[in-house]
Structure 1
Amino acid sequence: MQTSDSTGASYERRHFIGGSDARTIMGDDAPALLRLWREKRGELQPNDLSGNLLVQLGSCTEPLNRHWYEKNTGQTVTDVQRRIFHPVHRWMAATLDGRIEASGAVFEAKFAQPWCFSEEAAATRHMAQLQHNMWVTAARSAVLSIITGGGKWIEMTIPADPLYQHLLLTAEKKFWRCVETGEPPQLFGIEPPRPQLEAVRMVDMSGSNMWAEFAEIYRRTKDAAAEHEQAKGELKALVPDDAKEACGNGVRAKRSKSGAISFEVIAVA
């Protein structure tokens, strides 16, 4: 799939669905969805975010974010603020924070508040935007680069999800049809996929009481569990091939129609 650029950087956002719009379309905020619909129809002007400190922090830290990513990964980010339109659905576009030159992955820079921050929540929050931009650009993955107010930098790689992208495209088509016809849109109720995050951290769970409780059970039952599995394997081998059921010494083995053998404990006479 090939993509093409817009012919003018000032092309009005109301004439297409962008990545940030995708989050609203796939979200659960009905008033926000209705407002976006009215904006796309030209009935309302977009909110003025010049006084929103968090939005401005995100905007101001984008160059730093990009520099920090390049410095720490050795990768080069290109196509900064490039607007790309889908080659077929011309009402779909992506204004990119950048693309990773070596892989073609979408680069997305974000600023996050430090309290209650989690990588999974951040990935879920931005999933619609990332999948939208990957679909428009035919990218197989996206890099989510986050700087928090607590001075932390987090990098996550999010793979393209064909199933979610299909649902996203369906929802965006319906929304755009509403823009064209004047019919108010309804929430689509599509849950984002669970983020597939690369496991990179080592975590000390010593302070968790629940971890301590189940760790004790695990240590206590580990040898017995291994012995149990070994005994089950030996019992399976002893069941005659033509036996539907075998029992003795308080254990019954049953063979299913598919040939699988299961065991149960029975009372010993």
Structure 2
Amino acid sequence: MSDFKVFPFETEKQWLKGRMIGIGGSDASAVVGLNPYKSNIELFEEKIGRKIPKDISDKPCVIYGKKAEEYIRELFKLDYPEYQVSHHEYHILQSLEYPFMQASLDGELVDQDGRKGILEIKTTNILQSMQYEKWKDRIPDNYYIQVLHYLLVTGWQFVVLRAHLNTEWGGEKRTTVKHYFIERSDVEDDLKMLLEEEKKFWEYVESGRKPPLILPEI
């Protein structure tokens, strides 16, 4: 029995429109005040239709990430043949228990024990050493919240996040590839916290009452 239902969209335009309804993976960090680009108030205003989300689809880093994804997924298959990897373009998964929670995955994994997991792919340009620090022993908070959200929607057991960190120094381009493995059983407390926060946030959306602003920790 699956924890979600699947909405397959034909085109990117329909898929993008479908993503507007409910809380998606990149929204989740804004709910808890951990999104560097958007506050929980801005997200609330988008969800009640008061504000139109900024279109960032023409930004070079977004175009790069989108085009690189399929190749990175293929590289992941070569590097980790022990996983079965599948991907469904323009699919939105919607939680059955909490229909306002949804997910669009970069890949679906099955490990050698038959357990299901999530593949998340990130490409980022590292412009200063401080940014690299954020990736040193863990993934940045906003991406951590994103994959927790996917675990909540799917009910699956693990996440593998593959990050391609691009740098350019002295005219030389380099890519560092890092892998982060997250087991559901290790993050149960964080999952509970996020679920409560998302439920609370969605109550604000449904009532039209503005939530209190959550300021990110400096």
Residue aligning to 2:141 = 124
Give the alignment of 1:152-191 within 5 angstroms: 152-160=176-184, 161-187=187-213
> Residues 139 and 189 of structure 1: is their aligned pair in 2 closer, same or farther, counting only changes over 3 Å?
farther
Q: Residue 52 of structure 1 is aligned with which of 56, 59, 75?
A: 59
How many residue pairs were aligned?
Answer: 191
The one-character-per-residue Cα deviations of 1:173-204 (angstroms, maximum 9, x if unpaired) are 1111111111112245799xxxxxxxxxxxxx
- Native 8 Å contact 1:76 1:101 kept in 2: yes
Secondary structure in 2 aligned to 1:107?
Answer: strand
Q: CA RMSD in A?
A: 2.4
CA distance in 1, matches of 2:165, 2:20: 31
Instruction: Please tell me whether Structure 1 or Structure 2 has the larger radius of gyration of its CA atoms.
Output: 1
- In the alignment, structure 2 segments of 5+ residues that lack a partner are 167-173
The one-character-per-residue Cα deviations of 1:40-75 (angstroms, maximum 9, x if unpaired) are 111222111023222222212111211111111113
- The alignment status of 1:23 with 2:29, answered yes or no, reads yes
Letter in 2 for 1:109: I
Secondary structure in 1 aligned to 2:180?
Answer: strand
TM-score, scaled to structure 2: 0.78
Query: How far is the alpha carbon of 1:144 from its aligned partner?
Result: 0.2
Deviates more, 1:165-174 or 1:47-56: 47-56
- The alignment status of 1:137 with 2:154, answered yes or no, reads yes
- The alignment status of 1:151 with 2:175, answered yes or no, reads yes
CA distance in 2, matches of 1:183, 1:93: 22
Identity %, equivalent residues: 25
CA distance in 2, matches of 1:153, 1:124: 19
- In the alignment, structure 1 segments of 5+ residues that lack a partner are 192-269
Query: How far is the alpha carbon of 1:152 from its aligned partner?
Result: 1.8
Residue aligning to 1:238 = none
| Structure of higher RCO (CA pairs closer than 8 Å, 6+ residues apart) | 2
The one-character-per-residue Cα deviations of 1:58-113 (angstroms, maximum 9, x if unpaired) are 21211121111111111332133432111111111111111113331111000022
- Native 8 Å contact 1:85 1:92 kept in 2: yes
The one-character-per-residue Cα deviations of 1:94-141 (angstroms, maximum 9, x if unpaired) are 111111133311110000223432333525341110001011101111
- The alignment status of 1:104 with 2:116, answered yes or no, reads yes
- The alignment status of 1:77 with 2:85, answered yes or no, reads yes
The one-character-per-residue Cα deviations of 1:146-165 (angstroms, maximum 9, x if unpaired) are 11212121111112211111
CA distance in 2, matches of 1:95, 1:36: 18
CA distance in 2, matches of 1:28, 1:190: 6
Residue aligning to 2:18 = 12
> Residues 19 and 72 of structure 1: is their aligned pair in 2 closer, same or farther, counting only changes over 3 Å?
same
CA distance in 2, matches of 1:80, 1:112: 23
Secondary structure in 2 aligned to 1:106?
Answer: strand
CA distance in 1, matches of 2:49, 2:105: 24
- The alignment status of 1:2 with 2:3, answered yes or no, reads yes
CA distance in 1, matches of 2:152, 2:216: 17
> Residues 72 and 8 of structure 1: is their aligned pair in 2 closer, same or farther, counting only changes over 3 Å?
closer
Letter in 1 for 2:177: W
TM-score, scaled to structure 1: 0.64
Deviates more, 1:43-52 or 1:74-83: 74-83
> Residues 159 and 187 of structure 1: is their aligned pair in 2 closer, same or farther, counting only changes over 3 Å?
farther
Query: How far is the alpha carbon of 1:15 from its aligned partner?
Result: 1.7
Query: How far is the alpha carbon of 1:169 from its aligned partner?
Result: 0.9
Question: Where does structure 1 differ by over 6 angstroms across 4 or more consecutive aligned residues?
Answer: none
